[in-house]
Amino acid sequence: MPVIRAPAVAGLFYPAASRQLAHDVQLLLTEARPHELIPKALISPHAGYIYSGPIAATAYAALKPVAAHIRRVVLLGPTHRVAVRGLALPDADAFDTPLGRVMLDTTAMQAIADLPQVTVSAQVHELEHSLEVQLPFLQSVLPDFKLLPLAVGMASPDEVAEVLEVLWGGEETLIVISSDLSHYLPYSTAQRVDNDTARHILDLRQLGSHEQACGATPINGLIIAAQKHHLTPHLLDLRNSGDTAGSRDQVVGYSAFAFTPAAAHTKENEHAR
């Protein structure tokens, strides 16, 4: 019998009813600003859809030109509930959401299982939302894919980059980093802090603090990989909960980035001329 990781935040971060969830995600994707890019990697937020859904949709809408080619999604997000050293794989064969079952790429999981910074923990993944909330978007955009989910705990950017290098693949592999930005700052302060964080990412400079982004470690690992593979980052969306559905007294920042190969970036520029 396959081991299935059940959804933990359905009905909390996003609708538990499949029809409502499918409707909401499609509406968000339809309303998202289109971008003519060919992403190898994305950064997408992971709050409740009412807050960060429009920004996440902007990231996933960018996959439309390449969706048919993607067969594997390497998904990294920070741990929120259970501390872990390194990067944790789940002890599962599939993840369920209200939209259906996502099979895991167990062959690729075995390829990184022997790395010293990689561990296996059902407990780390059981209640973790940073990965789960990305799945309905992926299920709505990609016709056929397997998932490799990694919950990132106490690790170095180089350790993350080493894992990404093993899993890099070609156009069949998409990398997604799940991360929010600043937390619980006044609106104008958050805008200033998040703009600085966005500039760091666009310049491929390491983030210095998890106060800039809760997923700073996997983002920094992606930055190392982007430098090695000559990826170009593009800021697709930058807002906070004060812009979407919350008070402006204390807000949480959200961003959407796409990282494109140099050749794809050149084609995009030529098309735009």
* 271, pLDDT greater than 90: no
* 68, pLDDT greater than 80: yes
Averaged pLDDT of the chain: 95
Distance CA 14, CA 50 (A): 8
Distance CA 53, CA 212 (A): 20
Task: Indicate the range of 20-34, 49-63, 204-218, 255-269 predicted with least confidence.
Answer: 255-269
pLDDT digits (tens, 9 = 90+) for 208-266: 999 999 999 999 999 999 999 999 999 999 999 999 998 999 999 999 999 999 865 44
Neighbours of 220 (CB within 10 A): 24
pLDDT digits (tens, 9 = 90+) for 4-20: 999 999 999 999 999 99
Distance CA 85, CA 255 (A): 26
Distance CA 217, CA 130 (A): 14
Q: In this structure, what is the dihedral angle of CA atoms 253, 47, 32, 269, given to the nearest 10 degrees?
A: 60
- pLDDT of the residue at 175: 98
Q: State the total domains in the chain.
A: 1
Return contacts of 9-15, CB within 8 angstroms, 24+ apart: 9/129, 9/132, 9/133, 10/97, 10/98, 12/48, 13/47, 13/48, 13/49, 13/129, 13/132, 13/133, 14/48, 14/49, 14/53, 14/133, 14/136, 15/49, 15/98
Q: Residue 197: which domain range? A: 4-272
Residue 33's CATH number: 3.40.830.10
116: its two tokens:
């010293």
